Amino acid sequence: MGDHLGQLVELEISNVAHGGVMVARHGGRVVFVADAIPGEVVRAVVTDDSKAKFWRADTVEVLEASPYRQPHVWSAASIDRAPEERAGGAEFGHIAPAHQRELKRRVLADALQRMAGLEPAVIVEALPGPADGTGWRTRVRLHAAEDGTLGPYVARSHRVVEVADLPLATPEVASAALLAGRKDAGRKQPGRAARAHGSRSVDVIGPSTGEPIVLRHGERSGPITERVGDREFRLDAAGFWQVHRYAAEVLTTAVQEAIDPELFDPAAANLDLYGGVGLLAAAVGDRFGRDIRIESVEGDSGATGHARENLADWAGASAVTARVDRYLSTPGTGAGGLAGATVVLDPPRSGAGKDVVAALGALTPAQLVYVACDPVALARDLALFAGHGYRLSGIRAFDLFPNTHHVEAVASLVRT
């Protein structure tokens, strides 16, 4: 291996793959190609030939362009730059927004069919905001180079590249981040400060209330307030919150609509797993009233503390700090039996996994609403749930991350 590294190859792009790359073949070998679009013919440089079955390559020239190709929304990530200078984090920015959503739909549909034998009709729905998919990120992480320069990583690397703009960020976050990254000799440089304190990154957070906050990675500040409709949520500035400025509102409505009211029992042991600061538990409460019973389960104690405060409007709401798998397998936690219950789960990118699925299957809730940010993990878990007697009753997908390959889905499951 290594004989082909740096080689230029001409490739016909046939499809999209999970992970933001496209698929081509060269000499019988699969090549995963960045910065291309299905239907194009491109010239690409081989960047990884370490695997026997496939290579990776970066597009350097488009020989036959797709009608869906557009000037990249972020010049720092354009193929006009050498691959080693392209900023990461906007890998679909060269594709017309509607076609981005179509490619995400294909990835989701392929995963569901291939891994779970499911073929639901699904589209990827756009969120409010600019039609070009910019101006949505309320949280940005910049990395600190040895000289204190702050910037994003080059795609698929840990090399920092300096940039002049951050078009995916909200204007307020972009301004704060670019100001933090300046090299003015007359003022303190957050990048150098981060390196001096052993941190290699800086987070810029733009809450829906108040001014943007700049934090070294791992640094804590006072709580912030995020507003979703008429409701406010308190959380740590560095804590988890949906990144798209409209995502929390969209997911609140989607989860509310995904629950079958005929199966919902307000007195059952309803659960919000991986509950964070209580966003989705509150969504359930706001739909079904102040007398419902629901418990939020979250592994981060700081988030749990905020969840207790955020869910104070419901006398039957509670929040516990626990790993979800351990919580579901421990008697006396309130999850000893879930007959009649509704369970909302929003696991990390890796999904719930077989142990959590098996535990939920054994506890027999009436319905589940699964919020997923990875199509492959979702499809795997839906197949596992089918083995425990649950079928997919509905699914929606949302473009919570425009100009990237990521897509969010909300799936409803009921017992067969």
DSSP assignment string, 340-406: T-EEEE---TT-SHHHHHHHHHHH-BSEEEEEES-HHHHHHHHHHHHTTTEEEEEEEEE-SSTTSS-
Q: What is the mean pLDDT of residues 386-394?
A: 98
Q: Residue 416: which of 387, 391, 384 has the closest Cα? A: 391
Compute CA 332 distance to the chain's CA centroid, rounded to the nearest angstrom.
33
Residues involved in catalysis? 373
According to the model, what pLDDT value does residue 330 have?
82
The set of residues, in sequence order, having a beta carbon less than 8 Å from that of 243 and lying 6+ positions away, is 136, 137, 138, 139, 400, 401
Distance separating alpha carbons of residues 47 and 381, to the nearest angstrom: 33
Distance separating alpha carbons of residues 146 and 65, to the nearest angstrom: 39
Distance separating alpha carbons of residues 330 and 275, to the nearest angstrom: 18
Q: Of the ranges 36-45, 48-57, 101-110, 117-126, which one carries the lowest mean pLDDT score?
A: 48-57
Compute CA 110 distance to the chain's CA centroid, rounded to the nearest angstrom.
19
Please report which confidence band the pLDDT of residue 191 belongs to, taking 50, 70 and 90 as the band edges. Answer: low
According to the model, what pLDDT value does residue 332 have?
56
Q: What is the CA radius of gyration of the chain?
A: 23
Single-letter amino acid, residue 343: V
Chain segment 108-127, per-residue pLDDT in tens? 999 999 999 999 999 999 99
Q: Of the ranges 42-51, 181-190, 346-355, which one carries the lowest mean pLDDT score?
A: 181-190
Q: What are phi and psi of 255, to 5 degrees?
A: -65, -40
- Pairing mode, strands 139-144 and 201-205: antiparallel
Any idea which fold 8-69 has?
OB fold (Dihydrolipoamide Acetyltransferase, E2P) (2.40.50)
Give the percent of the chain with pLDDT over 70.
94
According to the model, what pLDDT value does residue 2 have?
63
Per-residue pLDDT at 185 exceeds 50: no
Give the 3-state secondary structure percentages of the chain, helix then strand then coil, rounded to 5: 25, 30, 45
The pTM assigned to this predicted structure is 0.94
Chain segment 239-264, per-residue pLDDT in tens? 999 999 999 999 999 999 999 999 99
Calculate the alpha carbon distances from 310 to 138, 280, 299 in Å. 21, 11, 17
- Per-domain boundaries in the chain: 8-69, 104-130+243-415, 139-227
Chain segment 303-361, per-residue pLDDT in tens? 999 999 999 999 999 999 999 999 998 855 555 579 999 999 999 999 999 999 999 99
Higher pLDDT, 293 or 332: 293
Distance separating alpha carbons of residues 337 and 332, to the nearest angstrom: 10
Averaged confidence pLDDT in the chain: 93
Chain segment 258-292, per-residue pLDDT in tens? 999 999 999 999 999 999 999 999 999 999 999 99
**Binding site listing for S-adenosyl-L-methionine:** 242, 274, 298, 346
Per-residue pLDDT at 237 exceeds 90: yes
According to the model, what pLDDT value does residue 221 have?
81
**Binding site listing:** 242, 274, 298, 346
According to the model, what pLDDT value does residue 218 have?
78
According to the model, what pLDDT value does residue 192 have?
54
Helix intervals (H) in 87-151 = 97-116
Q: Which CATH architecture best describes the domain 104-130+243-415?
A: 3-Layer(aba) Sandwich (3.40)
Please report which confidence band the pLDDT of residue 197 belongs to, taking 50, 70 and 90 as the band edges. Answer: very low
